[in-house]
C-alpha cells in the first residue's frame, strides 16, 4: 500500500476503530463465560454481547490493546511506522510523533507490537534452549 492509501484508509480514529471491529469479527469472539462464539455488536456500548449468556466483551479485551488507553489510531500509526521503516522506531521518537505526554504507555505499546510481530527473534532464540543448540540431541 502507498502512504496515500494508508492515510486514506486509517486517517481517523473512527476508521481505525471500524477496522479493528472488522478484524475481531473476522477472527471470531469467544465468550469468556460460556464459550459461545455467536456475538452481537452493541454500537453504543462498543462491546460484543454473547448471544447465549449476554456476557459482554469489550473491543480491546483479549487483544494486544487490552489494558491500553491509547487511541486505536496510535496503534495503527505505530504498526505502520514499525513495518515501513527498516531501522524501526524508538519509543522516544514514537512518543514525539504521536504527541503523547507520557512515555510509559507508548513504550508499552511498542513492545507489545514488537513481541507480536516477532521483532525480537534474537532474544527468542536465546530463551529457547533448542534454538541455542542446548536442546536434546
Ligand atoms: Zn456467553
CB of 116 within 8 A of CB of 75?
Answer: no
- Distance (angstroms) between ligand 1 centre and the Cα of 14 equals 27
Q: For residue 39, give the H/E element and its range.
A: strand 39-42
- Does position 129 have pLDDT exceeding 80, yes or no? no
Distances (CA, A) of 124 to 7, 22, 121: 33, 31, 5
- Distance (angstroms) between ligand 1 centre and the Cα of 50 equals 5
Please tell me what DSSP assigns to residue 78: H
Cell 530463551, located at residue: 127
- Distance (angstroms) between ligand 1 centre and the Cα of 55 equals 5
Give me the domain span that covers residue 2: 1-63
Q: Is the dihedral of CA 124, 126, 128, 134 positive or negative?
A: positive
- Does position 134 have pLDDT exceeding 90, yes or no? no
- Distance (angstroms) between ligand 1 centre and the Cα of 41 equals 14
Tell me which of 28, 63, 98 is where a domain ends: 63
Tell me which of 63, 82, 100 is where a domain ends: 63
Statement to judge: residues 27 and 84 lie in one domain = no
Q: What is the pLDDT of residues 113-125, one digit of tens each?
A: 998 887 654 444 4
Task: Give residue 34's pLDDT band: very low, low, confident or very high (50, 70, 90).
Answer: very high
Q: What is the pLDDT of residue 59?
A: 95
Query: pTM (2 decimals)?
Result: 0.80
Question: What's the mean pLDDT when you consider all of the chain?
Answer: 87
Amino acid at each position: 500500500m502507498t502512504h496515500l492509501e494508508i492515510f486514506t484508509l486509517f486517517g481517523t480514529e473512527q476508521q481505525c476503530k471500524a477496522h479493528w471491529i472488522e478484524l475481531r469479527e473476522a477472527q471470531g469472539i469467544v465468550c469468556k463465560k460460556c464459550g459461545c462464539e455467536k456475538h452481537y455488536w452493541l454500537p453504543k456500548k462498543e462491546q460484543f454481547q454473547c448471544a447465549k449468556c449476554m456476557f459482554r466483551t469489550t473491543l480491546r479485551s483479549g487483544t494486544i490493546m487490552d489494558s491500553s488507553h491509547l487511541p486505536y489510531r496510535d496503534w495503527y500509526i505505530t504498526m505502520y511506522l514499525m513495518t515501513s521503516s527498516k531501522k524501526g522506531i524508538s519509543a522516544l521518537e514514537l512518543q514525539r510523533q504521536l504527541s503523547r505526554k507520557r512515555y510509559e504507555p507508548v513504550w508499552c505499546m511498542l513492545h507489545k507490537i514488537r513481541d507480536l510481530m516477532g521483532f525480537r527473534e534474537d532474544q527468542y532464540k536465546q530463551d529457547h534452549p533448542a534454538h541455542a543448540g542446548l536442546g536434546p540431541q
